[in-house]
Amino acid sequence: MKDSHDNQREVAAQIALRAGALAECEMHGEVLDNDSREEANKLGNMLFDTEFRGVFRSRREMTDLIKDVIDDAGWECGACDRNLND
pLDDT digits (tens, 9 = 90+) for 54-79: 999 999 999 999 999 998 887 777 77
pLDDT tens digits, one per residue of 33-51: 677 789 999 999 999 999 9
CB-CB contact of 38 with 14 (8 Å): no
pLDDT band at 28 (very low <50, low <70, confident <90, very high): confident
How many other C-beta atoms lie within 10 A of the C-beta of residue 61? 13
Geometric angle at alpha carbon 67, from 66 and 69, rounded to 5°: 65
- The confidence score (pLDDT) of residue 83 equals 64
pTM above 0.95? no
Cα–Cα distance, 27 to 13 (Å, whole number): 19
Contact 76, 82 (CB under 8 A): no
Q: Which helix (H) or strand (E) holds 38?
A: helix 37-47
- Over residues 13-39, the mean pLDDT reads 82
